[in-house]
């Protein structure tokens, strides 16, 4: 079964193998723009409770799949589950986003952070993945994810969404060693968290570095990219070891090699795209500010590219959406290694009908690019 899924066009495209057409999934595809999601949300007001209830997380994960012929499911969760599991007490204030009652301020705060076992403190995520995996019946691959160490750290230090990232940048320039300790602890945790997601059934992994783009190039390399690179290396090592331990000589003499592609995404990656593509990851997510032809010329054959339609295009009429989809496909050009997506999460006030138009356009127009 695992072998069969290796052949799904999403995994194939992420590994830059030939595909029949360009696969598509949508960042935040399970979410507020779907009326069926809003029905659940109207009953369970607490966003975090949705994440923490595997039955609901599973149900929400599957909602967009029931409506659209998407090429992936992505587990419904949040990048802040890890600091919540650390005991920082995550809350979501109405209209204000995430909020930590106990942000990280001192070296002592960092040293007190516990080592967590994903199958204990974050078991709800693993249960949701297991449940979803069963329900999916291998229709499409399931994507697991985490925030990048830098991005998670911004919330842990700032306490909430920040405009200038004052607190964490103060820490960065005045007490860099405290920040490095925090980022190291996060990296270790993220490796075990993502590995546990794979063990539970995730077939593709993505790391969201939402705030790496607020750093200078030098700081990005030091405080964000280097940790993602370490995570990718350690994850690949851990997963291969797991694989080897699992492999038993079968009658055919072969062994199950289940390569888990890893996608890295830094919003506003700017000048750092080349460095990001050299981390050992399989694919890089591109936001809509960088055309894919330019991106491809920068990364060469090192990685697949995921993206990058401007989410605002889904406000337009069908004709405009179709032309915009065609432009993204044309900008990537011929050959394998493209996963269609928006350049960032879908906006909550998009009409689902527009999503259908986008998906249909990708399906019908992309075959001319994937056949060489």
- Which of 150, 288, 332, 340 contacts its own copies by CB under 8 A? 288
123 is catalytic: no
Distance of CA 177 to the CA centre of its chain: 28
Tell me if 271 contacts its own copies by CB under 8 A: yes
- Does position 326 interact with its own copies (CB under 8 A)? The reply is no
Catalytic status, residue 71: no
User: Contact region for its own copies (CB under 8 A) — 127-135, 224-232, 240-248, 314-322?
Assistant: 314-322
Which residue in the set 45, 112, 134, 170 belongs to the binding site for its own copies (CB under 8 A)? 170
Q: Is 216 an interacting residue with respect to its own copies (CB under 8 A)?
A: yes
Is 146 or 295 the residue whose CB approaches its own copies more closely?
Answer: 295
Of residues 86 and 155, the one with the C-beta less far from its own copies: 155
Q: Is 46 assigned a catalytic role?
A: no
Binder to its own copies among 108, 319, 349, 372 (CB under 8 A)? 349
Select the span of 75-83, 166-174, 235-243, 356-364 touching its own copies (CB under 8 A): 166-174
State yes or no: residue 312 binds its own copies (CB under 8 A).
yes
Quick check: is 28 catalytic? Answer: yes
Binding characters for its own copies, 240-269, by CB under 8 A (x = yes): ----------------------------x-
Residue 53 CB neighbours (<10 A) = 17
Per annotation, catalytic residue among 71, 78, 84, 222: 78
Identity of the residue, 24 or 295, whose beta carbon is nearer to its own copies in the bound complex: 295
361 near its own copies (CB under 8 A): no
Instruction: Report the nearest approach of its own copies to the CB of residue 17 (Å).
Output: 29
Q: Does 353 bind its own copies (CB under 8 A)?
A: no
Angle at 351 between CA 20 and CA 143, to 5 degrees: 45
Single out the residue of 83, 141, 201, 311 in contact with its own copies (rule: CB under 8 A): 311
174 lies in the site for its own copies, by CB under 8 A: yes
Binding site residues, its own copies, CB under 8 A? 164-166, 169-170, 172-174, 213-220, 268, 270-271, 288-291, 294, 310-313, 315-317, 320, 327, 343, 347, 349
Report, as residue numbers or ranges, the catalytic residues.
28, 32, 41, 78, 155
């Amino acid at each position: 079964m695992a072998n069969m899924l290796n052949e799904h066009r999403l995994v194939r495209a992420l590994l830059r193998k030939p595909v029949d057409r360009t696969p598509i999934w949508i960042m935040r595809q399970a979410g507020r723009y779907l009326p069926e999601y809003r029905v659940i949300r109207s009953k369970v007001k607490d966003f975090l409770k949705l994440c923490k209830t595997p039955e609901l997380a599973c149900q929400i994960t599957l909602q967009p799949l029931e409506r659209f012929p998407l090429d992936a499911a992505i587990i419904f969760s949040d990048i802040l589950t890890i600091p919540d599991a650390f005991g920082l007490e995550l809350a979501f204030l109405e209209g204000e986003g995430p909020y930590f009652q106990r942000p990280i301020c001192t070296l002592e705060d960092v040293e007190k952070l516990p080592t967590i076992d994903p199958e204990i403190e974050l078991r709800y995520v693993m249960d949701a993945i297991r449940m979803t995996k069963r329900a999916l019946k291998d229709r499409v691959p399931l994507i697991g994810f985490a925030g990048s160490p830098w991005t998670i750290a911004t919330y842990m230090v700032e306490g909430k969404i920040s405009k200038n990232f004052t607190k964490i940048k103060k820490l960065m320039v005045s007490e860099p060693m405290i920040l490095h300790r925090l980022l190291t602890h996060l990296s270790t945790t993220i490796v075990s968290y993502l590995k546990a997601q794979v063990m539970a059934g995730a077939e593709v992994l993505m790391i969201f570095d939402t705030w790496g783009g607020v750093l200078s190039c030098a700081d990005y390399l030091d405080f964000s990219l280097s940790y993602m690179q370490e995570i990718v290396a350690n994850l690949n090592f851990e997963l291969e070891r797991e694989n080897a331990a699992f492999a038993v000589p079968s009658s055919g003499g072969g062994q199950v090699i289940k390569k888990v592609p890893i996608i890295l995404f830094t919003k506003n990656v700017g000048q750092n795209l080349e460095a990001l593509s050299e981390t050992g990851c399989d694919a890089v997510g591109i936001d809509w500010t960088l055309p894919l032809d330019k991106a491809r010329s920068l990364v060469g054959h090192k990685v697949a590219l995921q993206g990058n339609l401007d989410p605002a295009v889904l406000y337009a009429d069908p004709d405009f959406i179709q032309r915009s989809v065609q432009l993204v496909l044309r900008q990537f050009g011929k050959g394998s290694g493209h996963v269609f997506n928006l350049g960032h999460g879908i906006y909550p006030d998009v009409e689902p009908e527009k999503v259908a138009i986008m998906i249909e356009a990708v399906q019908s127009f992309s075959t001319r690019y994937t056949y060489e």
